[in-house]
Amino acid sequence: MRSLVDSSIELRPRLGPTILASLWPIVVGIAFAVAMQLFVKPNINDYFAKQLLDIGISIVLAVSLTMVNGFTGQFSMGHAGFMAAGGYAAGAVCYYVSLRIWGTGGARGSILSGMPLDPSGLPSFAVGDLLFLGSLLVGGLVSALLGFLVGLPSLRLRGDYLAIVTLGFGEIVRVLIQQTEPVIKTAAEAAQTPVLELPIHVGGALGFTGLPKYTSLFWAYLVAAITIIVAFRLKRSTFGRAFLSIREDEIASEVMGVNTTRFKVWAFVIAAFFAGVAGGLFAHTLGVGLSAEAAGFMKSFDVIIMVVLGGLGSISGATAAAIVFTLLPEVLRDPLATPAWIVVAILGVWASLSGLAAWRSREGGAERPWVMKLALKLLIPGACVVAIYLAGKNGIDLSPYRMIFFALLLILMMIFRPEGLLGVREIWEREAWSWLIGGRRKAVAASPPQGGGS
């Protein structure tokens, strides 16, 4: 039987090795990140570069949140809280270590951090970069610890209640950050302050200023690549199926032998770790003022929208949604000056995939004529693109209406595609795609046989 071969069950190793096994995707990820910094960055303007950087960070946030909200079906609304906590922790380490060792909070990175080559001939992966990497890890770990603490109540709470707890968590982080002490500006002062007291000098209501700006396209896309790889490894393994089964039916999952408690906490911890690292990236970005507002609900809400639009549990969906959602405000403001083509390309790919699906199912006896379906699917994104283009051409700034736009998008989505762009599946698991690839994958798209043995 054909189906037996490709659905045979893989080994079930432990969680750690599952995430780390097989290095080549990581190598590809690193190469991609290096290429972004060394080959893409020099050929684009600073504005576009900043957009790409924000996209990278958004991808990390969205893909990590989909591990909780999508894989296990817990509804966390405090992702920005983890991000801010990680950002402040990473910032505190990076800034105060710099101040103590080098006497200044400035960055000492390499070309990978977007710095010019050091005249003293430091190797391209400089000490500052190592410090930054360490800080990101600290940020991630602090956040993961918080994730563990927040994940614990999730054992008893579900649905709305968990959402409220995580919402409260974000607010607690925000308020706590506001209560912190002013940043210490000079090396002399920093030297006099006891080390354990340094982490509370992170700026309070004024924000954490003066952080070294290490974050570059390299770092953003390195982390994004790792997040995506980890998410895929989790989803593709038996663990992934276990995660998804919790979301589908917790009791049934438990009697299959899944330790649901452990998995739910793990999901929280892993997601919080990456949110914390994303926070570290955010904190060290040029032109970003790290403040308590980073932990605010609006930020969490942004990430939730990405995850819901992309399809809860779909990694490629979350990635695509993160790209579109990050670019959209800029595109609405001035489509002609922005990398609007990325949004257009994504909308285009999606539209043609659904178009293909509609075309293919034309014999399938659809309830509506296939031409109409196809037209609808191509028309809506097409109309959006044209409208935005025209507005831009006439100098109309649509960005004040961005929230209205998102709200409409969400409402339409909930009506027509409540499961998000892709549901829990990935882009290439969509029917039209598998049809394009053809061959072996065709079976996925084939309609179920009727009748059968009885």
Partner 1 sequence: MAGADPQTPPMLEVRGLDVHYGAIQALHDLSLSVKKGQIVTLIGCNGAGKTTTLRAISGIVRPSGGGVFYEGASITAAPPYRLVRMGIAHSPEGRGIFSNLSVSENLDLGAYARSDHDEIARDRERSLTLFPRVRERLKQNAGTLSGGEQQMLAIARALMARPRLLLLDEPSLGLAPQIVQTIFKIIREINERGTTILLVEQNAHMALKVAHYAYVLEVGRIAMADEAAVLEKSDAVRKAYLGVG
Binding stretches for partner 1 (CB under 8 A): 1, 3-4, 7-9, 11-12, 238, 241-242, 244-245, 248-249, 251-260, 423-424, 443-444, 446, 448-449, 452-454
Between 256 and 390, name the residue whose CB sits nearer to partner 1: 256
Between 403 and 443, name the residue whose CB sits nearer to partner 1: 443
The minimum distance between CB 10 and partner 1, in angstroms, equals 8
* Geometric angle at alpha carbon 13, from 11 and 16, rounded to 5°: 145
Residue 438 tokens read as 């053809």
For residue 270, the surrounding DSSP H or E stretch is: helix 260-283
Q: CA-CA distances (angstroms) from residue 292 to 76, 83, 137, 179, 209?
A: 19, 11, 21, 10, 12
Among 198, 195, 163, smallest CA distance to 184 is for 198
The minimum distance between CB 3 and partner 1, in angstroms, equals 5
Between 31 and 443, name the residue whose CB sits nearer to partner 1: 443
Among 213, 228, 261, 241, smallest CA distance to 98 is for 213
The minimum distance between CB 72 and partner 1, in angstroms, equals 13
The minimum distance between CB 416 and partner 1, in angstroms, equals 18
Q: Cβ(87)–Cβ(211) under 8 Å?
A: no
If you ran DSSP here, which 8-state letter would residue 290 be given?
A: B
**Angle formed by the axes of helices 260-283 and 79-102, nearest 10°:** 50
Between 200 and 256, name the residue whose CB sits nearer to partner 1: 256
The minimum distance between CB 432 and partner 1, in angstroms, equals 16
Query: SS3 of 203, please?
Result: coil
Q: Cβ atoms within 10 A of the Cβ of 241, count?
A: 16
Among 433, 430, 319, 350, smallest CA distance to 70 is for 319
Between 413 and 444, name the residue whose CB sits nearer to partner 1: 444
Q: How many contiguous H segments (helices) and E segments (strands) does the chain have? A: 19, 0
Distance CA 298, CA 143 (A): 19
The minimum distance between CB 332 and partner 1, in angstroms, equals 33
Residues 6+ apart with CB under 8 A from 228: 29, 59, 63, 315, 319
Q: CA-CA distances (angstroms) from residue 277 to 123, 138, 227?
A: 24, 8, 10
Query: SS3 of 123, please?
Result: coil
Q: What is the CA radius of gyration of the chain?
A: 23
Q: Which residues pair with 290 in a beta bridge?
A: 208
The minimum distance between CB 451 and partner 1, in angstroms, equals 9
Distance CA 223, CA 385 (A): 31
Q: Cβ(72)–Cβ(237) under 8 Å?
A: no
The minimum distance between CB 353 and partner 1, in angstroms, equals 19
The minimum distance between CB 354 and partner 1, in angstroms, equals 18
Between 412 and 443, name the residue whose CB sits nearer to partner 1: 443
Among 215, 213, 183, smallest CA distance to 198 is for 183
The minimum distance between CB 43 and partner 1, in angstroms, equals 43
The minimum distance between CB 324 and partner 1, in angstroms, equals 24
Among 38, 47, 19, 140, smallest CA distance to 85 is for 140
Between 23 and 251, name the residue whose CB sits nearer to partner 1: 251
The residue to which tokens 């990430």 are assigned = 303
